[in-house]
Amino acid sequence: MLPALSKRIVLAVGLAICLAACSSDDMTGGTDNTPHDILLSGTLDIPATYDADLDAGTVQTSETFADGDIWNESVSGDVDQLSVVDTSRFAVMGTAAPNYAACAAATYGSTSYELIGAPLGLYFCVHTDQNHYAEVQLTKTAVEGDHNISISFTTWK
């Protein structure tokens, strides 16, 4: 039988281990420990001059920009950029995957980002036109001659 003080120490150590191992700072939670359900996630290939709807997980079938959030804007033969559509906004986050809390706290803007030569694995947070947050990772960058890009994404409810 353990003395009462030893039981408290074992309980405290067990609780500390559980908090370290059980807490979640991943794509479903965030540092605030509030659950954030994933609306959808996947990958998209976005041709030059087309836009992607991160709320539906689709690339538009024509250049209408009706429900798009981000746009693979091909300006010229050597200038391609990631741009926003209408009310959507994005923030460049770097090479570490942001979680929901990081995307919710990000400073968003509408300034386009140069895609030719952009680093693979670069992350963006997007505030969509339907008021969702999304994490977007650039998995194929635009290069001269092939202006298409690929992304992986997670959109939270």
Q: How confident is the model at residue 122 (pLDDT cuts 50, 70, 90)?
A: very high
Q: What is the C-alpha R_g of the chain? A: 20
How many other CB atoms are there within 10 angstroms of residue 29's CB atom?
16
Q: How confident is the model at residue 35 (pLDDT cuts 50, 70, 90)?
A: low
pLDDT at 139 over 70: yes
Nearest-angstrom CA–CA distance, 46 and 149:
5
Nearest-angstrom CA–CA distance, 135 and 33:
18
Q: How confident is the model at residue 24 (pLDDT cuts 50, 70, 90)?
A: very low
The DSSP letter of residue 15 is H
* Average pLDDT estimate for 134-142: 94
Where b means 16+ CB within 10 Å and e means fewer, 134-147 reads bbbbbbebbeeeeb
Nearest-angstrom CA–CA distance, 93 and 135:
9
pLDDT at 108 over 90: yes
Report DSSP letters for 91-120, one per residue.
Answer: EEEESSPP-HHHHHH---B---EE-TTPPT
Nearest-angstrom CA–CA distance, 51 and 62:
9
pLDDT attached to residue 63: 66
Per-residue tokens: 12: 């405290």
Nearest-angstrom CA–CA distance, 84 and 27:
23
Instruction: With 0.85 as the threshold, say if the pTM is over it.
Output: no
* Average pLDDT estimate for 40-60: 94
